[in-house]
Structure 1
Amino acid sequence: MTASPTRKPIFSAKLASPLRLADAVSDAIAAALFDGRIAPGEALPPEGEIAREFGVSKPIAREALRQLTSAGLISTQQGKVARAKALNGEPLERIYGYAVRSSLERLREANEMRRVIETGIARLAAERRDQAGLDAMKQALADMRASLREPSGFTEADILFHLGLAMATGNSMIRVQMEGLRSVQREVSELFSRRANRTDADWNATIERHQAIYEAIVAGDADLAEQKIRVHFEAADIASFEVADKLAAAKR
């Protein structure tokens, strides 16, 4: 990609002096990514062009691109131009994954965070009912029924359901947060499914709790949606942490 002397500047940013220059450059580029001036998959200008547009050195531009890569906002490969990535929860998912696998206490904290977040999400989902989210939740319910007694498939269906819940709000930042929580959901769902005494009635009860959340959201009943997701978390907590405690005891 070559520089064009007549090209309209993409970033149009004046660097704020209190910030380190690389931070200011990465902030300006991130703003262009978030407001759509650079679309997902689109190539960013070369490092040298970025440096010229901001009036900084190439090492500063390079550091700014490194920051954006670490944040998961762009992808870079040796010898190739950087490209914008669609906003997603991958960086958060990695952080939460490290945390919940580190100790039972971190897992408890993460699930407590999920409960706080998802009760609010359920209310907003019932108020907005974005169709893409409702469709994802409906598909997840079908996948759960098809994956009865198959922990891996059931876990993925569970994750899809809660992502659909977030999508039903129509809020992209909430969707990203839920994507970030997938590692927590996976850990809890797998613990839940590892109970040796899990019966068909137990598997079906889990599906019915999800079904009740879905129906409350479809009906637009925010109070009922919040109530049903609280019931779901209470049941999931009891079962999953019962297993986790046994695993921790066995290690000791």
Structure 2
Amino acid sequence: MTELPTKKPLFSAKPAMPSRLADAVSDAIAAALFDGRIVPGEPLPPEGEIAREFGVSRPIAREALRQLTSAGLISTQQGKVARAKELNGEPLEKIYGYAVRSSVKRLQEANEMRRVIETGIARLAAQRRGKAGLAAMERALADMREGLGDPAAFTEADILFHLGMAMATGNSMIRVQMEGMRSVQREVSELFSRRSNRTRSDWSATIDRHQALYEAIAAGDADLAEQKIIIHFEAADIASLEVADELGSRGKGA
């Protein structure tokens, strides 16, 4: 008698404590997403099939999918199968956005976080010099020059530049972190643009700082890249936070 082939499990299911069944199921599905067994856009098995594979109830499987949806790893719609999403920084961006808009203190903390993180990113980008990242940085510089004097266009170009720097590291988790910090970049850039004394030479100096940082990374000089990004933060972001401080003081006096 010919034996039927056994279907290979999609997930690496592990025994779990009853109180943590949903967590165990979501962890196993997340592992399949991260290691490429399920690619972005691919549908997940139906809820019932997930429940059978893990030996749990449908409500447990449903809760696991809800957790993954909240984390931004899958998308679900009423009456449709859940699908894997490309890993991105959207959940972080929402959290940071709420934080930096809540108070000047949180904005200062978020900007301090950027300084710490991006200094390391600049060094790694210079060491690895991923082509796609360098190309994004070049495109961002061109967009900055084209959008000179236009705060909205300049902000988007600035965000692309820093994302390109993260991409140049070749590290997907660093890219996700940079995507998450876009809301911080937008808030700081908007504050910087509010300065009444900002001149065309100010805009040009900002571009020059980005150009110098790009050149250091493209040349593979990690020490110089670190130096240039520190200069960038000192010249640009601290000035923005001075505006934020002023706005905060006005708010307290109102």
TM-score by length of 1: 0.96
Whole-Å separation in 2 of the counterparts to 1:238 and 1:26? 41
Relative distance call for 1:19 and 1:231 in structure 2 (3 A) is farther
Unpaired segments ≥5 residues, structure 1: none
Which residue of structure 1 lines up, in the alignment, with residue 233 of structure 2?
233
Deviation string 1:164-220 (CA, Å, 9 cap, x unpaired) is 000000000000000000000110011111111111111000000000000000000
The alignment status of 1:150 with 2:150, answered yes or no, reads: yes
Which residue of structure 1 lines up, in the alignment, with residue 69 of structure 2?
69
Which residue of structure 1 lines up, in the alignment, with residue 104 of structure 2?
104
Q: CA deviation at 1:6?
A: 5.5
Which residue of structure 2 lines up, in the alignment, with residue 184 of structure 1?
184
Deviation string 1:127-146 (CA, Å, 9 cap, x unpaired) is 00000000000000000000
Which residue of structure 2 lines up, in the alignment, with residue 24 of structure 1?
24
Whole-Å separation in 2 of the counterparts to 1:50 and 1:116? 41
Deviation string 1:85-123 (CA, Å, 9 cap, x unpaired) is 000000000000000000000000000000000000000
Q: CA deviation at 1:32?
A: 0.3
Residue identity matched to 1:204:
S
Whole-Å separation in 2 of the counterparts to 1:38 and 1:29? 9
Whole-Å separation in 1 of the counterparts to 2:12 and 2:190? 48
Equivalent pairs: percent with the same residue? 83
Work out whether residues 212 and 228 of structure 1, in 8 Å CA contact, stay in contact via their aligned partners in 2.
yes
Which residue of structure 1 lines up, in the alignment, with residue 218 of structure 2?
218
Work out whether residues 119 and 230 of structure 1, in 8 Å CA contact, stay in contact via their aligned partners in 2.
yes
Which residue of structure 1 lines up, in the alignment, with residue 121 of structure 2?
121
Which residue of structure 1 lines up, in the alignment, with residue 140 of structure 2?
140
Q: Alignment partner of 1:81: what SS?
A: coil
Whole-Å separation in 2 of the counterparts to 1:199 and 1:81? 53
Deviation string 1:50-84 (CA, Å, 9 cap, x unpaired) is 00000000000000000000000000000000000
Which residue of structure 2 lines up, in the alignment, with residue 10 of structure 1?
10
Whole-Å separation in 2 of the counterparts to 1:12 and 1:111? 39
Whole-Å separation in 2 of the counterparts to 1:176 and 1:15? 31
Which residue of structure 2 lines up, in the alignment, with residue 39 of structure 1?
39
Whole-Å separation in 2 of the counterparts to 1:13 and 1:21? 11
The alignment status of 1:167 with 2:167, answered yes or no, reads: yes
Unpaired segments ≥5 residues, structure 2: none
Work out whether residues 15 and 25 of structure 1, in 8 Å CA contact, stay in contact via their aligned partners in 2.
no
Whole-Å separation in 2 of the counterparts to 1:137 and 1:18? 49
Which residue of structure 2 lines up, in the alignment, with residue 250 of structure 1?
250
Residue identity matched to 1:86:
E
Q: Alignment partner of 1:20: what SS?
A: helix
Question: How many correspondences in the alignment?
Answer: 248
Q: Alignment partner of 1:80: what SS?
A: coil
Which residue of structure 2 lines up, in the alignment, with residue 54 of structure 1?
54
The alignment status of 1:195 with 2:216, answered yes or no, reads: no
Q: CA deviation at 1:242?
A: 1.8
Whole-Å separation in 1 of the counterparts to 2:116 and 2:250? 30
Q: Alignment partner of 2:41: what SS?
A: coil
Q: CA deviation at 1:236?
A: 1.5
Runs ≥4 in structure 1, deviation > 4 angstroms? Answer: none
